[in-house]
Structure 1
Amino acid sequence: MESALVKDNPLLFPLNKQKTLYDGFITVLERDFRLRVLLPPDGQLKGARLHCCWQLRQVLQGYEHIVKQRLQQSADLVTFILELKTVLVRRRSTPWLEVGLKSRPECRSIPPPRYYSQLISEMETLGWGRLLFIDTEFRTLRLKAEDSSGRQHVLTVKLKSRHPAEAPECSADLPVPLDITWTPQSTLDQLHSQFLLVLESLTEFWEVLDEIDSKTWILEPEKPSRSDTMRRIAIGTNVSIKVELDPRHPKMLPECCLLGAEHVVTPLRNKLNANMHLWNPDSGVLLNLRDVLEIEFPSPATHEKSSFSVECGICYSYRLEAAIPDQVCNDPRCGQPFHQACLYEWLRALPSSRQSFNIVFGECPYCSKPITVKMSAQQS
């Protein structure tokens, strides 16, 4: 039955392994009609449902009950499609139908049948096992890929109606732009191979981040993605370092920003500047940071993350949208952390506070010692 269906209707194919969902086109008198057939779990036609494009509904107008009856009573899908084609041949003599097909703008946006046959051929070469998702218009695909370290990645491909003559839009969760070479002779299999090469070029970058993520407490981002190049690593209570890696040169000295009370951050900053020449690109980033800063980072094996998740002293929450407290009172006896936005609003409301350029000067809400906060770009 399956071979007969494919032979007579090469543009109608199953969308799942159970073969209970068929989608595509049937051709009648050189005209292609889009339809979808949903079969019950047992694969029988009794209880099946038929969804048609608007052109097909127009042709079948007045014959819906007959089509529904034949769908329920046909011996198999091949027999039903044959009977449906017979009905269409009889109805195709309707003269207004030709005018309607030419005048409807949405009809022009539907890719030609060769688009679908080309897509099926390319997917068979690539392998259906690599397809994670395809939308109902057969335009957007999500393809899975695995790098040499076993990391799973997803490539989103948006095909144009003139595929493969026109290059598709491609996107993925990467820290660098996804540069794909495409010609009218290119295929999805070649596209997938290019994506794998890009993944391999970033393997070292992800290995560096995997080590940092597994051996330290990461304060930001909360849920890192494959495209994130920044990590804010906890050093102690209200003290952290923000590092920004270069995806192309991940083992080189990253951009570093120490965050915390000035009396704690200053000695670390001095060590960073004094020991910068010791950075060894052949060693891991985490090991280099330990040697340059002369510290041991708290790890999941030795510390609880709650030790570093101190709430803001103004809003009493740890996360304010995506931000965590990054402003700290410099008085060693206080050391209360605040969100930058909270502290800025607090100081701006005090009559005793003053502003010089983009810095607001005032008093700590807790200990009344001098405290400052920089205005962000959104606040200025």
Structure 2
Amino acid sequence: MESNKEIREVFNPTNYKSFTQLIDSLEKFFLHKNSLNFCSSNSIDMDQIDKAYLDEIKHIDDNVNIYFGKTLKELKCVIIDESFREHEIFITFSGPRKFQITKVNLPHLSYQDEEYNNINEIIDTFRNHVNNLSNYFYELEQIDQFCFVMDPLHPSYKDDYRKIALDERTWLHIEVTPDGVARNIYLIGQSESWNDKLQKGFLTWDHDKSIVDNIMSTFDISSFSNKHQVIFSEPATMSEKQHCAICLCEELPQDPSVPQPLCQNNNCGVYYHRSCLYEWLLASAGGRPPAFGVATGSCPTCSHPIACSLLDK
């Protein structure tokens, strides 16, 4: 009981004017107790926490904001890049000189799987990586600002792709490399006129221009007004949420993507979750594994030939 009372006193926010003062109090508390395994609280885990770890936290770069997680071994660091964007990186302390990255709101790269000797090493690596992604951030921000993004449902820097509405039944899928270059560009719910423009656009695509500028040139768009007045005039039904014709849902618990116009029959007018359509086609084929990961068959609604791969985002 006495230990719990002391812990509550240590973590009383009214006692401190700065994060450094809190760390100093924790250091004194550990030295006074001379033991690390005395806390019965579920919200604070003192196991393996030592003075060296706390001292390292205290001396982290002043430009980095630090927050404790559910335990003292879990940290969230907020780093501001050269363009004043805030980026979060979550770190776990697993023992002396053993730190791992548990979560980053960016596409996964190999540096996230490494083990680090100290927190500053992680912060320096992460900051360098973030600053090298300036073109990537810029291109995604331009797309999100000027285009009508249908998928992801809640676009973030972790999502390196966007599905942009061209009209009610046609979307443009586009991915952005870490260098800010467009790749893997294709249409969903293809129409002949859009496809012709896209094929011609590939021949004149200018990598010295922004992705948004290239989209405007490819599809003969003179200007954007705002993201809610889509690339062309937004159809009345564009703002209505579409349901998957198989599961009848807008969103799935384990799948943040939205139903898409995957059937290329322009008279069909139905939308499917990619995962729902894939499983449907797989079941219709008797459960046989599809060749090259692409399930083929007939549209469940109009019987038009249709194909689906889970490899596409």
TM-score of the pair, normalised by structure 2: 0.70
Match of 2:199 in 1: 273
Q: Are 1:256 and 2:192 counterparts?
A: no
Are 1:133 and 1:143, in contact at CA under 8 Å, matched by a contact in 2? no
SS in 2 for 1:194: helix
| Unaligned segments of structure 1, at least 5 residues | 1-11, 36-51, 55-108, 350-355
Q: Secondary structure at the match of 2:34?
A: strand
Question: Which letter maps to 1:18?
Answer: T
Aligned equivalent of 1:142: 76
Q: Does the CA-based 8 Å contact 1:231-1:244 persist in structure 2?
A: yes
Q: Relative to 1, partners in 2 of residues 1:204 and 1:16: Cα closer, same or farther, differing over 3 Å?
A: farther
Report the CA distance shift for 1:375/1:126 in structure 2 as closer, same or farther (over 3 A).
closer
Q: SS of the residue aligned with 2:171? A: strand
**Counterpart Cα distance in 2 of 1:345 and 1:124:** 55
1:32 corresponds to 2:40: no
Give, in whole Å, the separation in 1 of the partners of 2:282 and 2:142.
40
- 1:361 equivalent among 291, 298, 303: 298
CA distance in 1, matches of 2:176, 2:168: 24
* 2:14 counterpart residue number: 18
SS at 1:159's partner residue?
Answer: strand
- Please point out which of 271, 286, 311 is paired with 1:338: 271
Q: Which has the higher contact order (CA 8 A, sep 6+)?
A: 2
Task: Report the Cα distance in structure 2 between the residues aligned to 1:291 and 1:133, rounded to whole angstroms.
Answer: 48
Amino acid at match of 1:259: I
Contact 1:347 1:361 in 2 (8 A): no
Q: Tell me the alpha carbon deviations over residues 104-141 of structure 1, each in whole angstroms, 9 at most, x when there is no partner.
A: xxxxx943xxx6221222222216771122443x3221
Report the 3-state secondary structure (helix = DSSP H, G, I; strand = E; otherwise coil) of the residue aligned with 2:91: strand
Give the C-alpha shift of residue 243 in structure 1: 0.6
Q: 1:343 to 1:337 in 2, by over 3 A?
A: farther
2:212 equivalent to 1:286 = yes
- Please state how far the C-alpha of 1:295 moved relative to its aligned partner: 4.2
Number of residues of Structure 1 aligned to a counterpart in Structure 2: 271
Tell me how far 1:227 sits from its aligned partner.
1.5
Amino acid at match of 1:287: D
The 8 Å contact of residues 177 and 183 in structure 2, kept in 1 or not, is answered as yes
Relative distance call for 1:240 and 1:298 in structure 2 (3 A) is farther
1:193 and 2:124 aligned: yes
Is 2:106 aligned against 1:174? yes
> CA distance change for structure 1 residues 142 and 16 in 2, over 3 Å: closer, same or farther?
farther
Pair 13,279 (structure 1): closer, same or farther in 2 beyond 3 Å = farther
Cα separation, 1, equivalents of 2:12 and 2:79: 20
Following superposition, the deviation at residue 314 of structure 1 comes to 5.5
Q: Tell me, what secondary structure is at the counterpart of 2:154?
A: coil
1:302 aligns with 2:212: no
Partner of 2:261: 326
Q: 1:225 aligns with which of 156, 166, 171?
A: 156
Instruction: Spell out the pairing of 1:202-241 with structure 2 (5 A cutoff).
Output: 202-241=133-172
Q: Which amino acid aligns with 1:120?
A: L
Corresponding residue for residue 132 of structure 1: 67
Cα gap change, 1:216 to 1:329, in 2 (>3 Å): same
Offset of residue 195 of structure 1: 1.8
1:299, distance to aligned residue in structure 2 (A): 4.5
Percent identity of equivalent pairs? 17
What is the CA–CA distance in structure 2 between the aligned matches of 1:239 and 1:183, rounded to whole Å? Answer: 46
Structure 1 residues 360 and 204: alpha-carbon distance in aligned structure 2, compared to 1, 3 A threshold: same
For the pair shown, the structure with the greater C-alpha radius of gyration is 1
Q: Are residues 239 and 319 of structure 1, via their aligned partners in 2, closer, same or farther at CA, if it must alter by over 3 Å? A: farther
Give, in whole Å, the separation in 2 of the partners of 1:200 and 1:282.
Answer: 20
Q: Specify the SS of the correspondent of 2:194.
A: helix
Change (3 A) 1:178 1:147: farther
Is contact 2:147-2:227 (8 Å) kept?
yes
Q: CA RMSD in A?
A: 3.9
CA distance in 2: counterparts of 1:123 and 1:216, whole angstroms: 42
Check the 8 A contact 1:279/1:288 in 2, yes or no: yes
Counterparts of 1:256 and 1:267, CA distance in 2? 16
Deviations 1:310-352 (A, max 9, x none): 4445555444553413323625xx3412315359749977xxx
